[in-house]
Amino acid sequence: MQKRVLGKSGLEVSAIGLGCMGMSFSYGPPKDKREMISLIRAAVERGVTFFDTAEVYGPFTNEELVGEALAPLRDQVVIATKFGFDTGVDPRAMKGGGPVLNSCPEHVREVAEASLKRLRVEVIDLFYQHRVDPQVPIEDVAGAVQELIKEGKVKHFGLSEAGIETVRRAHGVQKVAAVQNEYSLWFRRPEEGLLQALEELGIGLVAYSPLGKGFLTGKIDESTTFDSTDFRTTLPRFSPAARKANQALVDLLGRIGNQKHATPAQIALSWLLAQRRWIVPIPGTTMLERLDENIGAVALELTSSELQEIEQAAAKIKIEGARYPEKLEQMTGR
């Protein structure tokens, strides 16, 4: 497995990480715990060193899963988790009125202490603010994490879906190692200034949903049905009409994949890896077969002409449907 360093932080991780959320949360009922522990450990055996979770996934159960799975392998891995939601509120509210944010410094500390226990670690490798809390100045949030770093409870500070100015302000208080943002061929907003700012500041990008929440794998079409507990049932981009319209992008990936003897998912991940050397995608999966497929993208190198072909073809495809309901979208880019 190739390695990458997130910006100038010195934080080295595998070129592809593993997003663990879907094992416990959002994509239908929670998966079998023993099977998911085996999958996480299989990822380590294959060279994956970067694992992503959050207290709100479950809530709590995903951190507990990741902690149990990686406890015997702690010295081989980097674990990222997140704070910023009030987990006293049912997370299923995310489907309705939206989750309640809380990044008050005292709450940040409470979450860190609880996450340390659930993850079975003495220090959190990368601690993200999950969403920017407009009620708390980002300088106060960065200062709270800075204190945790000084105490040896956190190694690196991160932000998720933060606006460029917020990233700059936070970075001025406590160096930001990574910004986590959705980024893929079907969501390219980071190219509109964020990537340039991160390059300037020496901050890495961790790309979540690099496969478009499964759509870019080619395994989903307009006729696919989702479990009632699957978060995608609430997303405009996953309406049957949007899926039908956006199939053109998957067809493009399939055409390039046929030329390279690769799957659409591998082309999507390879394209992302080619954008910047400090970008690390964290595709999620609950299947060993898909884990191996995703890891295979690291060895797949797209030529400059192939990348240009993808760019030219993708430019002609208009992606239909918002990625989030309005209230959740309002929590991004602040």
Question: What's the per-residue H, E or C state across 171-233?
Answer: HHHCCEEEEEEECECCECHHHCCHHHHHHHHCCEEEEECCCHHHHHHCCCCCCCCCCCCEHHH
Instruction: Name the nearest CA neighbour of 83 among 119, 61, 53.
Output: 53
Q: Is the pLDDT of residue 93 over 60?
A: no
**Could you identify the residue written with the tokens 């940040």?**
108
The residue annotated as part of the active site, out of 27, 57, 183, 324, is: 57
Angle at 17 between CA 15 and CA 18, to 5 degrees: 160
Q: Is the pLDDT of residue 327 over 50?
A: yes
* CB neighbour list of residue 303: distance below 8 Å, 6 or more residues apart: none
- Kindly report, residue by residue over 275-295, the tens digit of the pLDDT: 999 999 999 999 999 999 999
Q: What is the share, in percent, of the chain residues with pLDDT greater than 70? A: 97
How far is 81 from 148, CA to CA, in rounded Å? 14
Question: What's the fold here for domain 3-329?
Answer: TIM Barrel (3.20.20)
How far is 277 from 228, CA to CA, in rounded Å? 38
Paired tokens of 276: 């910047």
Q: What is the share, in percent, of the chain residues with pLDDT greater than 90? A: 96
Is position 128 annotated as part of the catalytic site? no
Q: Is the pLDDT of residue 144 over 90?
A: yes
Q: Is the pLDDT of residue 72 over 80?
A: yes
The β-bridge relationship of strands 154-160 and 279-281 is: unpaired
> If you ran DSSP here, which 8-state letter would residue 20 be given?
-
Q: Is the pLDDT of residue 90 over 90?
A: no
Q: Is the pLDDT of residue 91 over 70?
A: no
- Kindly report, residue by residue over 109-120, the tens digit of the pLDDT: 999 999 999 999
Pick the more confident residue, 94 or 255.
255
| pLDDT, mean of residues 92-97 | 50
Q: Report domain extents, the chain.
A: 3-329
- The pLDDT, as a whole number, for residue 287 is 97
b (16+ CB within 10 A) / e for 299-321: ebebeeebeebbeebbeebebbe
Q: What are phi and psi of 64, to 5 degrees?
A: -65, -40
